[in-house]
Amino acid sequence: TLLGVLGTRFGLIQAFKGVGAASDAMRQEVLAQGISMAMMTTAFGLIVAIPCIAGYYMLNNRGDFLIDQLEEKALGLYNTLTIMKREKGI
């Protein structure tokens, strides 16, 4: 995501530098090329970021599920050991 933002900044810098240096006839073309570069880098950043965010949330939810299961099994083991202790009078 940050690479897309960085590319957007470079594209806009290039566009505005080009506008200052270009002749009147070329200004629109130079500006359009710079803005096009900025939009492309933003799009590529989003193409990378969206699946990464989805994967993060999927893995995070899976981890929470596994922790919940582990806690449930540990509590069951604790309860079983407590019952066994009471039955044997330890």
Residue that is written with structure tokens 């999927």 in the block: 58
pLDDT at 90: 60
Q: What is the pTM of this model?
A: 0.62
Q: What averages of pLDDT result for each successive group of 10 residues across the chain (90 residues)?
A: 75 78 78 83 86 95 96 96 86
For the beta carbon of residue 8, count every other beta carbon within 10 angstroms: 19
30-55 per-position pLDDT tens digit: 888 888 888 888 888 888 889 999 99
Q: C-alpha angle 11/13/16, rounded to 5°?
A: 110
- Rounded to the nearest 10 degrees, what angle do helices 27-88 and 2-21 cross at? 170
pLDDT at 78: 96
